[in-house]
Structure 1
Amino acid sequence: MARPPGPRFSMSLIVKIVTAVGLAAAAIWSASSVPVPAPAPALAPWGPSEASAEVLADSLALDVLIGQVVGAPDDATGLDRAIAEGRVGRIVVSPRRVDAHLARLRDWQARAPLPLSLATQAEQVALDGPLTASTAGLAAAARPDLAFMTGRARAESARDLGIQTPGSGLRLGADETSERPVEQALVRGLREGQTLPVVTLAAAADLDAFDTLAEAGLMEVHVDASTPSGAALVGQVAQRGSYRGLVVADLGRSAAGAVAALRDGADLVVSSTPSAAYDSLSHALRTGRLAAERVREASRRILAAKAWSGLELVTPEPRGGGDGSTRSLRIDPLRAPSASLLHRTQLLTAEIARASVAVVQTEEGPLPLVGPRPRRVFTVVLDPGASVERALPFVNTLATGLGPGSSASYARLGLGQDEAHYREALDATRDADVVVIAAFPDADGRLAARHQAVLGSLPTRLPTVMVAFDDGALAAGMRRPDALLVANGTSEMAQTAAAQAIAGQIPVSGRLTRPVAGLAATGDGVRLAQQVLRPGSPEEAGIAAGAAARIDDVMQRAVSSGAFPGGAIAVGRSGVLLALQGYGRLTAGGARVTPDTPYDLASLTKVVGTTATAMRMVEDGRLDLDAEVVETLPRFRTMGKEYVTTRQLLSHSAGQRPWYPFHAHDIASREEALDFIYADTLRYPPGTRSRYSDFDMIVLGEMMTTITREPLGDLFDDEIFEPLGMTATGFRGVGVRDPEAAPTETDATWRGRTLQGEVHDEAASVFGGEAGHAGLFSTAADMARFGFMLANGGQANGTRIFRRTTLERFTERVRLRSTYPTGLGWMVNYGDTSAGSAFGPRSFGHTGFTGTSIWVDPDQELFVVLLTNRVHPSRRNTRIREVRPALADAVAGAIQTPPREPARAWGFGPVPTDLPGVAVR
């Protein structure tokens, strides 16, 4: 949509208005004897705007220029008249809704003789406009890159809304450190967004810290000049050699001090009585107490800043008979922030909310609440507000984020509730394993006295997590909690981030920005790794938003074309679960597929169970890759197999046959099948080539059960599934139907039934449904947990399943002549694979005959899981071959940023690599 045209201001009209009074006044002022003005600060680097501003300023009468150096808040006395008469050049606006904000700005600018510059002290320009992170949140996150982007986001919103000086939230007081990388980055972002970054100085401000921000590109400084100490600071800042921007003196409700402030070097004086400030300056000029050149110099700087920030000096269209040589100011067109800006800013602010969560606890602290053991978590919400729904984002996110088997409940304690309700809530904590206190501040920013009493009544035997929203000081004075979590603000984003941190769904790296008496010091905060996936959008994972639609299209086309009756997917990157969804139905006309629908994994058993467990056993020494199989299974010695090693089983290079139809040869039991395998002859010399073999993985499974003396199902549970919380994954018995599982083939020749919830693979069925090559069932939800563990380097849910080096060792390509590229147990992405064309060269995965697959790109922290029943009703359907790479490409082909840096794609960069604290990539 085209922007509406901005108003234009003709210099010829301005000159006609001011000439009569202006020339006469100029003659009087120029003849006056005036004090020598204080040295003005050097012009800021306004670029070409400097020369244009000087030409314009020199062409205007002093009474017009006085108006340029006077500012006023939007509730100032007589503001409308002051605007119309040109007695004010800057308005400090308070937030309103976008429509009301734009309406009054257009009205003001239409009536002003010269364009007004607009500023705001609030960090949000409009109440329903883009909401950026607070400066406190940026400080807690300690991420200069995100601070720079926040500056750019604020600037983009401000420019749309006609604001040249958006609120930065930066304020310097005493005892400030001069090392301020986050604040420097914010200043840089605001400036590169073509707005004027501003800082407010307290009377006792540390000017060394100020110098640091000045070097970063600070363009405005606000000083409270209504007090003697503040007034003295005006001159100090104006003469500060490091600073070249505007000096703004805030006079409060008085006009007194305007002359002194301007004389001391201020460029702009802000008063709630702007006409009085204007008259004071005018009188000082006439009486010789203020130099005309000081006003001209200040106004030149103001005009240069206006032009630089979007109120551009341009040559107007010639008017009737004119030569077009006069100049005017054009206002950047005003508009409501776009839906895109709102969305991108929301993504950025949520990212900062997560990054700013700070946790203080010992190494043995309870957070995050992850692991295989189910927990009962009870939350006590201390909320002084009137809304009973205020804390719902926190309690709901926590309830859904805890692991399988865990439960979460809560009680809200409002200030108006009776004592019986309080006692009931405290009694309920005694049945919990963990108590969470979620404390919200009252109107004064404190913990209400009644709520303070609750903290002293908590059971002492239970682990307690104190969550302080907005200010860690809410926990001051309480018995030391087992963990203190501080979230910046009380917004839905802050609450969600706090709950996700408790549940292990996000990494924690924030720092306290102020001390908590008796509990923590400024800068405290532990680092906690992410342990479980968190649901999110593709953009939160650095993947294009359109990927979601492309994934849907691939899956819906596959179902409609008959590639399979239904399927479920799990897609994750950088700890974000960006897709977990079912498509189609179990059968034509049957129940809908969900992420919790059980699927026969078929040969995914080889990696999800057998290989993953082998990796753990190799790592801890229970299994030796280069040991001969016969050392564990003496019966394997016959027919030249005595020198076959564990490594050769895993790399499918042991020389065994690929498979055998036991059921067609009257082999009906596990022992009979093993007798056949052990007595079978080799098909080629071991270690000379690689040929995919079910036999290899069956033998490996038998080795592991012999070593551990555990059935294979129990072994997989103990080593992999239980630690990861994969409660729906495991082997199933033969001959037992599960109506909730996705059916596979209708077996008319051997079993005489449609297989639903029992293993499809005939050999695995002979083994009783439990073998090293096939037989496992799982869901997309469980496979997401497994995929995250792999993409996360072998660690998840509070447990390291195996080391990253072990994972790399097993997924490195084995260089043997082969039918397909393999590692140890894993398929690797070399040549033409079902991983498509966009997965990286170190990617690994596997497929299953029933229509299943998993692919992992460790360099992108990416996994894609596909579960289908493509063999229903018949295995002759092979259209899955086109679906697997198409799905992989829909995801991997849409990657936009490096892992865990999604903000790079949100349109607020690029981030300068010379910012302090920003890593160069």
Structure 2
Amino acid sequence: MAVLAVTTGGAAVGPQGRFDVPMPGFSPPTTVLHVGSPESAGLDPAPIAEAKTTIANSPLFPGAVSLLAHDGVTVDLTATGKAVRYADATAELPSDQQVPMRPDTIFDVASVSKLFTSIAVLGLVEDGKVAVDERVASYLPEFGVNGKETITVKQLLTHTSGLEPFIPLWSDWPDKPARIKAVMDRAPAAPPGSVYTYSDLNLITLGVLVERLSGEPLDVVVAKRITTPLGLTDTGYNPSADKRGRIAATEFQTAPVRGMVRGEVHDENAWSLGGVAGHAGIFSTAKDLAVLGQTILNGGIYRGKRILREATVREMLTNHNAAYPGNAHGLGFELDQRWYMGGLSGPRTAGHTGYTGTSLVLDPASRSIAIRLTNRVHPVRTNGSINSARETLATALARALAVRPRQGPTAWYTATGGATLLTPPLAARGEVTVRFDVFVDTDPNDGLLLEAGSGETWRAVPVRASGPGAPAGEVAALSGSGHRSWWTVNAIAPVGAHVTFRWRYVTDSRYTGRGVTIDRILVTQSGRNLLNGEKQPHLIRPLGWAAKTR
């Protein structure tokens, strides 16, 4: 039976705990985060518990705080490891001087700060002071030089301005006015609008724009328009000394000579701009970021405090970078980036990462939030990438959400590469029809193959799928994500006297998704059933697959 969403107060209300029933629009505007168990939110606790073990045992960072929420329920908040572990670049502090992570540890969130700047810009749009398609030079005349005359506010928000990623403001210019002027004077590295290049200079410029048009410093604007209305008491720039005991340390820096950085922004350029900049500088906690995330999922409102209109949030979460495949971007938010959004990836999935080891993922389709905050640059920035850890957390939440069988009490599920699901040898000669339903959420480089064979010889059987997001025409493998829908699959295979069919899930060593679920297997020849998977599940041999109720 189809599950239908109803609407209350303009927001769709749907089944809790489901991955296979994507929700349109926003969460109800009255949704407020509260603590509950995974089970209370309709989630399977096992994938979350497995991810927590991975977090606790990760060698990629000294410590972490992770938060998972679904449909307004904070189902997990986990602190592990150390917020401060090292005295310098190599030496560990004595154990009694190390500082453990806490659920309320405050982190330098690095480039997640860009979201706060973007929200501030869009607040000015709502005030009628800025138009996103207007040239930046209309508001900052000094910016419109050296080939930047046509760059628009939207191009800064979507990183399509052509500006280079970074210049060393802190070392090559003597003071804040000179550093801001250096950004204003900088020529683009590529023609504006010709390429996607993630650039701190875009958001530094937007920070200046906010200050110029509001008449107030960026930190004041962010406090007035975002953190104070939402009650984010641990979020802001340049945290006060009384909070230092809760702040995670970042890097031991020797150039510039800063020693162990704790309580000051890690990013050298933001530091050289006084700790307040459009691209970096925000400190926050997992709980505060979750409130910001729920505000976006609610369409810009939380506990009756509106920071953006619904239409504005919708534009924030709309891909404006269709011309740059793989670099989907809203107005400030990154979209559909599997490398850290994992199994939650989809066209509307929004988020951002930070260089210090932070990430925020918002999935409107399942009304879910995944936050991972780490101190991966403690004590040095060469500790390595934590993208696998980011992806693991988001994928755990995706796998905790249910995909219900199409028929009967169970369906076959795997998230394991190399898993095979085999029929018994079937007596047939001529054309055999194979029909099944499948729910796939995979990386584009992974896929489900249908193969026919006998003994050690197997050959691929081309298939045709129908359903939302299904590939067009006949394909060799089934892969995809974001559609969140079951597909009906048909294949015709000419066979000899006896044949065995197998479904094989193939993955590479990179990213994974939620996995693959198969149901309603039916193999027929000339209207005669050779195998009915619903009535004869005991005849199917699973290797790496499991019969699941969800």
Instruction: Identify the TM-score tier after normalising by the shorter chain.
Output: 0.5 to 0.7
What is the TM-score when the length of structure 2 is the normalising length? Answer: 0.64
Q: Post-superposition shift, 1:615?
A: 2.6
Q: Post-superposition shift, 1:818?
A: 6.7
Would the aligned equivalents of 1:542 and 1:895 in 2 still touch at CA under 8 Å?
yes
The structure 1 residue matched to 2:34, chosen from 523, 527, 534, is 534
- Give aligned-pair identity as a percent: 35
The structure 2 residue matched to 1:724, chosen from 222, 227, 230, is 230
Report the Cα distance in structure 1 between the residues aligned to 2:344 and 2:74, rounded to whole angstroms. 19
Matched, 1:848 2:348: no
Instruction: For residues 11-37 of structure 1, give each alpha carbon's deviation from its aligned partner in whole angstroms, at most 9, with x where no partner exists.
Output: xxxxxxxxxxxxxxxxxxxxxxxxxxx
Q: Post-superposition shift, 1:660?
A: 0.8
What is the match of residue 278 of structure 1?
none
Would the aligned equivalents of 1:689 and 1:818 in 2 still touch at CA under 8 Å?
no
* Shift in alpha-carbon separation, 1:529–1:897, aligned structure 2, 3 A: farther
Report the Cα distance in structure 2 between the residues aligned to 1:861 and 1:737, rounded to whole angstroms. 32
Report the Cα distance in structure 1 between the residues aligned to 2:315 and 2:243, rounded to whole angstroms. 39
What is the match of residue 556 of structure 1?
56
Matched, 1:597 2:105: yes
What is the match of residue 125 of structure 2?
618
Matched, 1:670 2:176: yes
Would the aligned equivalents of 1:737 and 1:756 in 2 still touch at CA under 8 Å?
no
Report the Cα distance in structure 1 between the residues aligned to 2:54 and 2:386, rounded to whole angstroms. 11
Instruction: For residues 297-318 of structure 1, give each alpha carbon's deviation from its aligned partner in whole angstroms, at most 9, with x where no partner exists.
Output: xxxxxxxxxxxxxxxxxxxxxx
* Shift in alpha-carbon separation, 1:747–1:735, aligned structure 2, 3 A: farther
Q: Post-superposition shift, 1:769?
A: 0.4
Report the Cα distance in structure 2 between the residues aligned to 1:773 and 1:819, rounded to whole angstroms. 22
Instruction: For residues 812-841 of structure 1, give each alpha carbon's deviation from its aligned partner in whole angstroms, at most 9, with x where no partner exists.
Output: 2212337733222111115x4211134333
The structure 1 residue matched to 2:82, chosen from 585, 590, 606, is 585
The structure 2 residue matched to 1:632, chosen from 124, 127, 139, is 139
* Shift in alpha-carbon separation, 1:752–1:829, aligned structure 2, 3 A: same
Instruction: For residues 647-703 of structure 1, give each alpha carbon's deviation from its aligned partner in whole angstroms, at most 9, with x where no partner exists.
Output: 1110111121111112332x2322111111111111111112210000000001111
Instruction: For residues 590-611 of structure 1, give each alpha carbon's deviation from its aligned partner in whole angstroms, at most 9, with x where no partner exists.
Output: 222112111001000001x111
Instruction: For residues 269-297 of structure 1, give each alpha carbon's deviation from its aligned partner in whole angstroms, at most 9, with x where no partner exists.
Output: xxxxxxxxxxxxxxxxxxxxxxxxxxxxx
Report the Cα distance in structure 1 between the residues aligned to 2:230 and 2:194, rounded to whole angstroms. 37
Q: 5 Å matches for 1:366-381? A: none
* Shift in alpha-carbon separation, 1:795–1:547, aligned structure 2, 3 A: farther
Report the Cα distance in structure 2 between the residues aligned to 1:735 and 1:668, rounded to whole angstroms. 27
Q: Post-superposition shift, 1:548?
A: 3.5
What is the match of residue 567 of structure 1?
64
Would the aligned equivalents of 2:344 and 2:363 in 1 still touch at CA under 8 Å?
no
Q: 5 Å matches for 1:368-767? A: 530-558=30-58, 561=59, 563-588=60-85, 589=95, 590-607=98-115, 609-665=116-172, 667-732=173-238, 738-767=244-273
Report the Cα distance in structure 1 between the residues aligned to 2:229 and 2:273, rounded to whole angstroms. 26
Task: Between 709-718 and 586-595, report the one with greater CA deviation.
Answer: 586-595
* Shift in alpha-carbon separation, 1:834–1:862, aligned structure 2, 3 A: same
The structure 1 residue matched to 2:332, chosen from 822, 825, 828, is 825
Q: Post-superposition shift, 1:801?
A: 2.0
Task: Give the match's secondary structure for 1:718.
Answer: helix
Task: Report the AA paired with residue 720 of structure 1.
Answer: I
Report the Cα distance in structure 1 between the residues aligned to 2:144 and 2:240, rounded to whole angstroms. 31
Q: Give the paired residue count.
A: 372
Task: Report the AA paired with residue 586 of structure 1.
Answer: A
Would the aligned equivalents of 1:791 and 1:863 in 2 still touch at CA under 8 Å?
no
Would the aligned equivalents of 1:533 and 1:577 in 2 still touch at CA under 8 Å?
yes
Report the Cα distance in structure 2 between the residues aligned to 1:671 and 1:734, rounded to whole angstroms. 25
Gaps of 5+ in 1: 1-144, 147-346, 348-506, 508-527, 899-903, 906-921
Report the Cα distance in structure 2 between the residues aligned to 1:812 and 1:719, rounded to whole angstroms. 22
What is the TM-score when the length of structure 1 is the normalising length? Answer: 0.39
Q: Report which of the two structures shows the higher radius of gyration computed on alpha carbons.
A: 1
* Shift in alpha-carbon separation, 1:769–1:534, aligned structure 2, 3 A: same
The structure 1 residue matched to 2:304, chosen from 790, 798, 801, is 798
The structure 2 residue matched to 1:886, chosen from 392, 397, 401, is 392
Task: Report the AA paired with residue 592 of structure 1.
Answer: P
* Shift in alpha-carbon separation, 1:754–1:819, aligned structure 2, 3 A: farther
What is the match of residue 809 of structure 1?
315
Higher strand proportion (structure 1 or 2): 2
Report the Cα distance in structure 2 between the residues aligned to 1:797 and 1:714, rounded to whole angstroms. 22
* Shift in alpha-carbon separation, 1:800–1:735, aligned structure 2, 3 A: closer
The structure 2 residue matched to 1:774, chosen from 274, 280, 284, is 280
**Where in structure 1 do 4 or more consecutive aligned residues deviate above 4 Å?**
733-737
* Shift in alpha-carbon separation, 1:818–1:691, aligned structure 2, 3 A: farther
Q: Post-superposition shift, 1:529?
A: 5.3
Between 1 and 2, higher relative CO (CA 8 Å, sep ≥ 6) is seen in 2
Higher helix proportion (structure 1 or 2): 1
Report the Cα distance in structure 2 between the residues aligned to 1:734 and 1:720, rounded to whole angstroms. 19
Task: Report the AA paired with residue 38 of structure 2.
Answer: P
Report the Cα distance in structure 2 between the residues aligned to 1:733 and 1:784, rounded to whole angstroms. 19
Task: Give the match's secondary structure for 2:220.
Answer: helix
Task: Give the match's secondary structure for 2:52.
Answer: helix
* Shift in alpha-carbon separation, 1:639–1:734, aligned structure 2, 3 A: farther
Would the aligned equivalents of 1:606 and 1:774 in 2 still touch at CA under 8 Å?
yes
Q: Post-superposition shift, 1:532?
A: 2.2
Report the Cα distance in structure 2 between the residues aligned to 1:735 and 1:769, rounded to whole angstroms. 14
Q: Post-superposition shift, 1:894?
A: 1.4
* Shift in alpha-carbon separation, 1:673–1:733, aligned structure 2, 3 A: farther
What is the match of residue 132 of structure 1?
none
